[in-house]
Structure 1
Amino acid sequence: MAGFYTKRKKTGKKKIHTQAAVTAVLMLLSFAAGALTYRALTRPPQTDAGLTYIEEIPVVTDFLPEGCRARPGEKREIKYLVLHETDNFSAGADAAAHNSFIHQNANAPEGIVSWHYTVDDRQIYHHLPDDENAYHAGDRMEKNGGNLNGIGIEMCVNEGSNYEQTLLNAQKLCARLLIEYDLKPGALRRHQDFSGKVCPARLIESGRWDAFCAAVEQRYRELKSVQ
Structure 2
Amino acid sequence: MELKQDFIPQSNSNRPQTALRPTHITVHETANTSNGANAEMHARYVKGADAQARQVSWHVTVDDTQAIQHLPFNEVGWHAGANGNRQSIGIEICVNRDGNFPQARANAISLVRRLMNELSIGINSVVTHQHWTGKNCPANLLPSWNEFITDVREGTSPEPAPPMEGRLLRVIVDSLWVYNRPDWNARYTTVSRNEVFTIAEQLTVNGSRMYRLKSGLYITANPSYVQLI
Bucket of the pairwise TM-score, normalised by the shorter protein: 0.5 to 0.7
Post-superposition offset of 1:106:
7.1
Q: 1:191 to 1:107 in 2, by over 3 A?
A: closer
Aligned equivalent of 1:113, options 31, 39, 56: 56
Shift of 1:105: 2.8
State the one-letter code of the partner of 2:146: D
Is 2:112 aligned against 1:169? no
Give me the whole-angstrom Cα distance separating, in 1, the residues matched to 2:136 and 2:51.
27
Structure 1 position 76, deviation (Å) = 2.0
User: Which of 141, 162, 174 is residue 203 of structure 1 equivalent to?
Assistant: 141
For residues 89 and 106 of structure 2, the distance between their equivalents in structure 1, rounded to whole angstroms, comes to 18
Query: How many angstroms apart in 1 are the aligned matches of 2:50 and 2:59?
Result: 13
1:86 maps onto 2:22 in alignment: no
Q: Which aligned segments of 4 or more residues in structure 1 are displaced greater than 4 angstroms?
A: none
CA distance in 2, matches of 1:131, 1:219: 25
Contact in 1 for aligned 2:26/2:88 (Cα 8 Å): yes
On the 8 A contact 1:70/1:106 being kept in 2, the answer is no
- 1:74 CA drift (Å): 0.8
Deviation, structure 1 residue 183: 1.4
Aligned to 2:140, the other structure's residue is in SS state helix
How far did 1:60 drift?
1.3
Change in CA separation of 1:82 and 1:107 when aligned onto 2, cut-off 3 Å: closer
Distance 2:50 2:15 in 1: 8
Q: Is the 8 A contact 1:116 1:153 kept in 2?
A: yes
Distance in 1 separating the partners of 2:104 and 2:126 = 17
- The aligned counterpart of 2:127 is 189
Match of 1:61 in 2: 5
Query: Partners of 1:107 and 1:147 in 2: how far apart?
Result: 16
For residue 147 of structure 2, give the secondary structure of its aligned residue in structure 1: helix
Counterpart residue number, 1:4: none
Size of the alignment, in residue pairs?
Answer: 156
Matched position secondary structure for 1:73: coil
Match of 2:147, as an amino acid?
A
SS in structure 2 of the partner of residue 77 of structure 1: coil
Q: What's the offset of the Cα at 1:181?
A: 0.7
CA contact (8 A) 2:45 2:51 kept: no
Which has the larger helix fraction?
1
Match of 1:124 among 67, 71, 80: 67
* Number of the residue aligned with 2:15: 71
Structure 1 residue 107: Cα displacement:
6.9
Report what 1:133 is aligned to: 76
> Larger strand proportion, structure 1 or 2?
2
Contact 2:28 2:137 in 1 (8 A): yes
Distance in 2 separating the partners of 1:99 and 1:62: 7
Asked whether the 8 Å contact 2:12–2:47 carries over to 1, the reply is: no
Q: Highest Rg: 1 or 2?
A: 1
Structure 2 CA distance for aligned equivalents of residues 200 and 105 of structure 1: 24
Say whether the 8 Å CA contact 1:69–1:106 is kept in structure 2.
no
2:69 partner letter: H
RMSD: 1.4
Structure 2 unaligned segments of length 5 or more: list them: 157-229
* 1:201 aligned counterpart, secondary structure: coil
